[in-house]
Structure 1
Amino acid sequence: MADPSLEVCPDFTGDLFAAIREDLVNATGSTHQAVADRLRNVWVVDHEARVLEWNHQRDEEAQEEAEIERAQAAHEEEEHIAKEAEAEKDHLELEKKKPKMNSFNATATVGDAIAPRPSQYAIQKLNNFEYVELWYFSPEGCKEAMKMSRSMADDTFSLAKLNDQLTIRPSSAFKASRSAIPDHELSFSVFLRAKNLFLTQANAAKWPQTHLDALALFFWHLENHSIRNNSELGDLVIMHYASRVCLDWHDHLKRDKGFNIGIINETLLRSINEEIWDRVHSRTLVMSQN
């Protein structure tokens, strides 16, 4: 439909409408001018009505288009907000996973002494609450850890699962030392030094305080047990008891059947004592026969 406001009123006084005027003059007895004026008035009324209708229709269409544009703009705004929220969520998730560096006390200095550091393998064992030989916490074990430590660029890496997520760790964190020996093969003096660093590192690995207290009591009882003064093989007996009981304690903890390691089982201790003496007697007998 064309815009009626662009229309031009016909010339009803012209020759084109002469026949119509003649008929109307004859029918009404009016003059040609009066008939032409009447025709023009009728056309103007009709024209104005059609212009009003056209403008009204254009207004409705404009309102509909504006409503569609507003709805589309609102939808786009919602999508924009949703994308920004998703991006912010992703950013926060990345920030949570991103390693954090702790702050420091600007007035504090390094301590007067730095404790020896065991291997990454031993520390990883402690972090997983697993059994690890005391040798790793001995002076010899810490010296080897320092000697074998490499830069991150020189080391190879392996995948590890931590808190249900895969992480990349140096392969050295998973390798046991070929130099490691069972606890009962340590000298008693080395055993005492190693257990001190072991307890310190276990505390740093967030072992439960009840477990740390039981272990501290366990080592104290062994260090001060009367068998060390009453038997030539007392230290060896103590070492064998410690070696076996620590491993058995971890095995029971894994099965959720843990016991209080701080309580010394004198019956087991006597049994180990007899076993070691029998072993010594057997060796002595063999040597005498040869």
Structure 2
Amino acid sequence: MALVVDPNLEMVPDFAGNLYAGIRADLEAATNQTEDEVITRLTETWNADHDARVAEWNRNRDEEARVLAEAERVHTTQENEARTQQEAEAEKERLEVEKKKPKMNSFDHASSVGDFLTPRPAQYAIQKLTNFEYVELWYFSPEGCKDALKSSRSVADNDLSITRTDDQLTLRPTSAFKASKAATADHELSFSIFLRAKNLFLVQISKAKWPQPNIDALSLFFWHLENHPIQNNSDIGDMVILTYASRVRQDWHDCLKHDEGFNIGNINENLIRTINEELWDKVRSRTWNTMPATVFPRTPVTHSHGCLHT
């Protein structure tokens, strides 16, 4: 049975006092001892019992102290672990926020702006390149860059749209998602504008971090077309090259999306000849249709496939 009162606070009873006179007389008669011997015996017996109870009390207090200390240690350990985990999670969240936070790069204090500023295409075109998507070369022509500058001045500051970037919703100018109404297809450009536009296009895809093999293939693609002999051997050579460039570049992007990419830098001469014949057929058809009926009577033309390709 656990002790509830500290025995260290107890005092030895006065066995020589009147309270214990009867007990002394009984013990004297029973043991044939003197009164002093009985008092000594009673005192020694009480002291022995008292010492045992004090020892038990101290053991219990030591055990309680040990249990409390262990519980405190476990509690402190749990608190430290919880705090460490919270701090780690908070640091992780801080690093994630810091990683997604826009950063401004430093600069060379000894440098200055260059002698020539590269024209800036529309945000729509830049966004297309960032997503590795097809976009018309017109956006990189002088006319396209002027149109972009004009549009950026006319767009209201609050004309924004929501987009998802890195699993976060962000606001971007609506102009970044709208194609220009003035944009034209590659094959509708003049050959000189085509050459100027492709130069800025190559610069911009490099800035957009396109894979270097893809950039190299496109550079070779444009070089071959710019120097293709059909331009000197045909009255419609420029038109053939522009049509080939327009169709093949679009097809290249489509194939890349389906993981069926090909080397666009390898020019397919058979396809160029096919396009050349197709365009000559159109030229001859237009010439035929504009001739007076008295010179070349018109007769119906039957096509084996039941449709007329234009």
Q: Select which of 247, 255, 279 maps to 1:252.
A: 255
Q: Verify: 1:39 aligned to 2:42, yes or no.
A: yes
Counterpart CA distance in 2 for 1:43 and 1:212 is: 104
CA deviation vs aligned residue, 1:18-49 (integer Å, no higher than 9, x gap): 22222223334444344233322322232222
Return the offset for 1:259: 2.6
Q: Verify: 1:90 aligned to 2:93, yes or no.
A: yes
Between the two proteins, the alignment pairs up a number of residues equal to 288
Correspondence for 2:108: 105
Counterpart CA distance in 1 for 2:61 and 2:219 is: 91
Q: Verify: 1:224 aligned to 2:223, yes or no.
A: no
Question: What is the TM-score when the length of structure 1 is the normalising length?
Answer: 0.89
Correspondence for 1:268: 271
Q: Verify: 1:185 aligned to 2:188, yes or no.
A: yes
Q: Verify: 1:205 aligned to 2:208, yes or no.
A: yes
Q: Could you tell me which runs of 5 or more consecutive residues in structure 1 were left unpaired when the two chains were aligned.
A: none
Q: What are the residue-to-residue correspondences of 1:103-252 with 2, within 5 Å?
A: 103-149=106-152, 153-162=157-166, 165-168=167-170, 169-252=172-255
CA deviation vs aligned residue, 1:145-189 (integer Å, no higher than 9, x gap): 111126784231222355xx2442333222111111111111111
Counterpart CA distance in 2 for 1:35 and 1:202 is: 114
SS at match of 2:113: coil
Query: Which structure dedicates a bigger proportion of its chain to helix?
Result: 1
Question: What is the TM-score when the length of structure 2 is the normalising length?
Answer: 0.84
Q: Could you tell me which runs of 5 or more consecutive residues in structure 2 were left unpaired when the two chains were aligned.
A: 294-310
One-letter code aligned to 2:283: V
- Matched residues, percent identical? 61
Counterpart CA distance in 1 for 2:272 and 2:173 is: 40
Return the offset for 1:116: 0.5
Counterpart CA distance in 2 for 1:140 and 1:89 is: 48
Counterpart CA distance in 2 for 1:48 and 1:225 is: 115
CA deviation vs aligned residue, 1:37-90 (integer Å, no higher than 9, x gap): 332232223222222222222122222222222222222222222222222222
One-letter code aligned to 1:257: E
Counterpart CA distance in 1 for 2:35 and 2:60 is: 37
Shift of the 73–29 alpha-carbon distance from structure 1 to 2, 3 Å rule, reads same
Q: Verify: 1:57 aligned to 2:75, yes or no.
A: no
Shift of the 46–280 alpha-carbon distance from structure 1 to 2, 3 Å rule, reads same
Counterpart CA distance in 2 for 1:28 and 1:224 is: 138
RMSD: 2.2
Question: Which deviates more from structure 2 when the two are superposed, residues 2-11 or residues 30-39?
Answer: 30-39
Shift of the 239–6 alpha-carbon distance from structure 1 to 2, 3 Å rule, reads same
Counterpart CA distance in 2 for 1:199 and 1:238 is: 18
One-letter code aligned to 2:174: S
One-letter code aligned to 1:72: H
